[in-house]
């Protein structure tokens, strides 16, 4: 008698093989499994359990050179301090729209993007300002963008990381969760047709990984063996919904099995682990082996945006991540313990970052707001133009 309880993957394969002649090899036996059919999850870079109260550091097995380590430190500090300045501007009502922090998640964005080559592509989400900086975007552009200034990258038409630079391989994300996965898949298919050797890194949240677009994009990338690396930022919340209330898997990396691709779990608060795991995935993708899913385990220490007071967060939860698992504290400890930098050297880097932030936020604050009529240019359809603009814009 047929019993679901005892049915194993092998039994299923045999049943299919008997029913479908195309599934048989020439000798009539079942066809060999495609590599990747079974679940392949690497936990080499996963978070390690530590004794309570102990401050964490980073993994020491790294190919990064001393000057690269300091560059990573600079990007981490730049991300955190730029965001702090944006909050400051927001409280002065100089920011248009919401402010989305990556506080506590900076290592995921910085470490992973640092593993890319300049001509590779990224598409970030709101928690990936660090990756945007690694891609060569300057703080002044971010400040001007947040303040909707005319000299910001989108000329005041959109906000925060919603802009793009094709020549820098920075694909501007739209707000719709999940949709950038099929977009990046399409970009990589196009690049392959043009014989370009590039990989694409797409970021998505735990919430975004529950959308239909995510599944369709991943599936198509996997079957085409496209060099797509997807980092799922598992930060415990989507708005106020805990991850356990919107997915039944324990580790989001397990979703890789549904696409027949390898999955990795990485400690998202260890910048070195994030760099190393992404480098490994890039090697896999560049060698023609296809798509990889990486789950970065991290924590969103701020609310969804500045207006969110986090009243749904259990007491004491944020404190652990702040005191023992802050990605910058961990990296500082690592650099000093490994004698890769002195405290003075790190202070010097921070002072230089502050100098750049002051200069760039002054520049952005003093730059103009867009002229109203520019709203009708650079858009999909400008046939409906407000009457007051018509003589100036369309009839001249
Ligand atoms: C398709 C879609 N549904 C809902 C939203 C509204 N929305 C914006 S961000 C967000 C939560 C995202 O959570 P997650 O993907 O975990 O990313 P995180 O904010 O934690 O980085 C939601 C529901 C949206 N932008 N797109
Ligand atoms: Mg989330």
Q: Above 80 in pLDDT, residue 263?
A: yes
Q: How far is the CA of 240 from the centre of ligand 2 (A)?
A: 9
Kindly state the tokens that stand for 67.
């000057």
Ligand 1 atom closest to residue 243's alpha carbon, by position in its atom list: 16
Question: Which pTM does this prediction carry?
Answer: 0.90
How far lies 48's CA from each of 266, 267, 326, in Å? 10, 8, 15
**Strand-pair category, 241-242 with 292-297:** unpaired
- What is the rounded average pLDDT of the residues 201-222? 98
Report the SS3 class of residue 91.
helix
Q: How far is the CA of 355 from the centre of ligand 1 (A)?
A: 34
Q: Above 90 in pLDDT, residue 381?
A: no
Q: How far is the CA of 207 from the centre of ligand 1 (A)?
A: 6
The sign one gets for the Cα dihedral 152, 156, 160, 161 is negative
- What is the rounded average pLDDT of the residues 121-145? 98
pLDDT at 40 (0 to 100): 85
Q: Above 80 in pLDDT, residue 260?
A: yes
pLDDT at 370 (0 to 100): 95
Q: Which residues contact 129 (CB under 8 A, 6 or more apart)?
A: 79, 82, 83, 102, 109, 142, 161
Q: How far is the CA of 235 from the centre of ligand 2 (A)?
A: 5
Q: How far is the CA of 205 from the centre of ligand 1 (A)?
A: 7
**pLDDT by residue (tens digit) across 279-314?**
999 999 999 999 999 999 999 999 999 999 999 999
How far lies 305's CA from each of 42, 101, 222, 328, in Å? 32, 7, 33, 21
Confidence of residue 8 (pLDDT cuts 50, 70, 90): very low
Q: How far is the CA of 394 from the centre of ligand 2 (A)?
A: 44
- What is the rounded average pLDDT of the residues 126-154? 97
State phi, psi for 94 to the nearest 5 degrees. -95, -10
Mean pLDDT of the chain: 90
Ligand 1 atom closest to residue 238's alpha carbon, by position in its atom list: 13
Residue in 300, 312, 324 with CA at minimum distance from that of residue 104: 300
How far lies 223's CA from each of 54, 201, 258, 390, in Å? 44, 17, 11, 50
Q: Which ligand is nearest to the CA of 128?
A: 1
State phi, psi for 157 to the nearest 5 degrees. -85, -25
- What is the rounded average pLDDT of the residues 373-393? 72
Report helix, strand and coil shares of the chain as percent, to nearest 5.
45, 10, 45
Q: How far is the CA of 208 from the centre of ligand 1 (A)?
A: 6
Q: Are 120 and 281 in contact (CB under 8 A)?
A: no
Torsion (CA) 122, 60, 338, 297 in degrees, nearest 10? 50
Tell me how far apart the alpha carbons of residues 107 and 335 are, in angstroms, rounded to a whole number. 14
- What is the rounded average pLDDT of the residues 325-339? 97
Ligand 1 atom closest to residue 100's alpha carbon, by position in its atom list: 19
How far lies 95's CA from each of 146, 202, 240, in Å? 6, 27, 24
Q: Above 60 in pLDDT, residue 340?
A: yes
Q: Which residue has the tokens 């909050």?
A: 87
Ligand 1 atom closest to residue 205's alpha carbon, by position in its atom list: 15
Q: Are 165 and 141 in contact (CB under 8 A)?
A: no
Ligand 1 pocket, Cβ-based, cut-off 6 angstroms: 125, 127, 175-177, 205-208, 211, 233, 235, 237-239, 300, 304
pLDDT at 196 (0 to 100): 97
Ligand 1 atom closest to residue 179's alpha carbon, by position in its atom list: 1
Partners of 232 in the beta sheet?
A: 204, 295
Tell me how far apart the alpha carbons of residues 109 and 102 are, in angstroms, rounded to a whole number. 9
Which of 230, 238, 246 most suits a substitution to test ligand 1, by most atoms within 8 Å of the C-beta? 238
Ligand 1 atom closest to residue 211's alpha carbon, by position in its atom list: 1
Which of 235, 239, 243, 310 most suits a substitution to test ligand 1, by most atoms within 8 Å of the C-beta? 239
Which of 105, 178, 207 most suits a substitution to test ligand 1, by most atoms within 8 Å of the C-beta? 207
Q: How far is the CA of 304 from the centre of ligand 1 (A)?
A: 9
Tell me how far apart the alpha carbons of residues 241 and 245 are, in angstroms, rounded to a whole number. 7
Q: Above 70 in pLDDT, residue 53?
A: yes
């Amino acid at each position: 008698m047929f019993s679901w309880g005892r049915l194993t993957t092998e039994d299923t394969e045999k049943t299919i093989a008997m029913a479908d002649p195309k599934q048989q090899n020439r000798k009539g036996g079942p066809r060999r499994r495609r590599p990747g059919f079974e679940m392949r999850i690497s936990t080499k870079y996963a978070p390690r359990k530590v004794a309570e109260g102990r401050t964490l550091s980073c993994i020491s097995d790294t190919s990064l050179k001393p000057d690269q380590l300091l560059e990573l430190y600079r990007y981490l500090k730049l991300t955190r301090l730029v965001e702090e300045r944006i909050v400051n501007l927001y409280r002065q009502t100089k920011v248009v729209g919401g402010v989305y922090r990556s506080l506590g998640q900076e290592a995921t964005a910085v470490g992973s993007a640092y593993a890319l080559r300049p001509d590779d592509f990224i598409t970030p989400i709101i928690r990936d300002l660090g990756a945007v900086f690694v891609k060569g975007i300057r703080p002044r552009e971010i400040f001007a963008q947040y303040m909707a200034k005319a000299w910001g990258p989108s000329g005041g038409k959109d906000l925060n990381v919603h802009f793009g630079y094709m020549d820098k391989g920075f694909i501007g994300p739209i707000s719709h969760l999940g949709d950038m996965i099929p977009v990046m898949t399409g970009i990589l298919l196009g690049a392959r047709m043009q014989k370009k050797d590039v990989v694409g890194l797409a970021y998505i949240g735990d919430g975004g990984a529950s959308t239909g677009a995510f599944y369709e994009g991943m599936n198509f990338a996997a079957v085409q063996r496209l060099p797509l690396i997807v980092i799922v930022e598992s930060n415990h919340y989507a708005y106020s919904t805990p991850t356990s209330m919107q997915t039944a898997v324990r580790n989001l990396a397990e979703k890789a099995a549904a696409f027949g691709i390898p999955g990795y779990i990485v400690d998202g608060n260890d910048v070195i682990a994030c760099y190393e795991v992404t480098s490994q995935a890039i090697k896999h993708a560049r060698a023609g082996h296809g798509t990889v899913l990486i789950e970065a385990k991290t924590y969103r220490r701020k609310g969804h945006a500045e207006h969110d007071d986090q009243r749904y967060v259990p007491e004491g939860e944020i404190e652990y991540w702040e005191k023992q698992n802050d990605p910058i504290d961990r990296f500082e400890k690592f650099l000093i313990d490994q004698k890769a930098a002195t405290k003075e050297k790190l202070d010097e880097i921070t002072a230089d970052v502050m100098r750049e932030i002051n200069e760039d936020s002054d520049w952005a604050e003093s730059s103009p707001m867009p002229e109203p009529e520019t709203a009708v240019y650079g858009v999909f359809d400008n046939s409906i133009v407000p009457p007051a603009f018509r003589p100036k814009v369309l009839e001249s």
